[in-house]
């Protein structure tokens, strides 16, 4: 299964890079699928198949990888536009609403995605769901001093929030901004993503949550059919 999933991720990463044109300012997402896309972009740049690209990364992970590959980078504050942003997701529902933040990078990811003229999501077929939050908890970035207060307020909204703990480090995950992450489950999943996104972001101490609502233009889905990896494009219906 892991190998099939990697094949699907590789297929969508390669398909997404085909949308990149010379001269574009690009939002470079985070996570394993976005990392494959950044690698594919780096390969195209070094082969001379693309030129005059500027990347805006969404995490420390992306910055390190893109720098290693020689992709020219700018900070978000230094650009006035992003032509195309490409990023992964943890869940995608039929209305193109997303849960992101599996890598705790959703603060910068949402800034980049909302500035972008076009936002393309790259996922393998396991990420397509009928309803959000039944299989993946919603990440919420919080100020460290506010985490228990936010946890209690989320409980009043019906959310059961766990503090995300680190692997190979004692204690919690610390985000690229120096904050903590609460992973939240709502009984029965999320029915009103648009309302919930606003309600959670309205809680004092919350920096951003991982609901990406009405931002996505296209979802590229990697799938393996009869042992062959392919890509299906889901276009937003206006």
Q: Note the residues at the interface with ligand 5RP (CB under 6 A).
A: 29-34, 87-90, 100-106, 109
**Contact between 53 and 38 (Cβ < 8 Å):** no
**Considering 39, 63, 109, 223, which one is annotated as catalytic?**
109
| Min CB(173)–ligand 5RP separation in Å | 11
Nearer to ligand 5RP, 71 or 155 (CB): 71
SS3 166: coil
- Residue 121: CB minimum distance to ligand 5RP, A: 8
Give which of 53, 56, 35, 34 is closest to 44, Cα–Cα: 53
Q: Please identify, using beta-carbon distances, which residue of 7 and 149 lies nearer to ligand 5RP.
A: 7
Taking the complex as a whole, how short is the minimal distance between the CB of residue 22 and ligand 5RP, in angstroms? Answer: 26
Is 223 tagged catalytic? no
Q: Based on CB atoms, which residue is closest to ligand 5RP, 59 or 153?
A: 59
Separation in Å, CA 223 to CA 155, 228, 230: 37, 8, 5
Beta strand 180-186 with 138-142: parallel, antiparallel or unpaired? antiparallel
Which residue's CB is nearer to ligand 5RP, number 135 or number 204?
A: 135
Question: What is the closest distance, in whole angstroms, from the C-beta atom of residue 50 to ligand 5RP in the complex?
Answer: 22
Round to whole Å and give the CA distance between 171 and 75.
30
First vs last C-alpha separation in the chain: 35
Strand partners, 128: 92
Number of H helices, E strands in the chain: 6, 13
**Which sequence positions are flagged as catalytic?**
109
């Amino acid at each position: 299964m892991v190998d099939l999933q990697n094949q699907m991720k590789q297929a969508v990463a390669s398909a997404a890079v085909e949308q990149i044109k010379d001269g574009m300012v690009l939002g470079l997402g985070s996570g394993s699928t976005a990392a494959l896309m950044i690698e594919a972009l780096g390969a195209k740049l070094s082969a001379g198949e693309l030129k005059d690209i500027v990347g805006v990364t969404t995490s420390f992970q992306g910055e390190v990888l893109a720098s290693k590959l020689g992709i020219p980078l700018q900070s978000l504050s230094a650009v006035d536009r992003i032509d195309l942003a490409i990023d992964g997701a943890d869940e995608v529902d039929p209305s193109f609403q997303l849960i992101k933040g599996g890598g705790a990078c959703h603060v910068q990811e949402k800034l980049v995605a909302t500035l972008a003229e076009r936002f393309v999501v790259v996922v393998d077929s396991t990420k397509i769901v009928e309803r959000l939050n039944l299989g993946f908890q919603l990440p919420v970035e919080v100020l460290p001093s506010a985490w228990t207060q936010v946890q209690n307020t989320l409980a009043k909204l019906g959310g059961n929030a766990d503090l995300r703990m680190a692997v190979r480090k004692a204690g919690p995950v610390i985000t690229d901004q120096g904050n903590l992450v609460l992973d939240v489950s709502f009984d029965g999943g999320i029915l009103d993503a648009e309302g919930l996104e606003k309600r959670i972001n309205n809680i004092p101490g919350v920096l951003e949550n991982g609901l990406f609502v009405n931002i996505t233009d296209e979802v590229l889905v990697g799938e393996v059919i009869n042992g062959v990896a392919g890509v299906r494009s889901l276009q937003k219906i206006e």
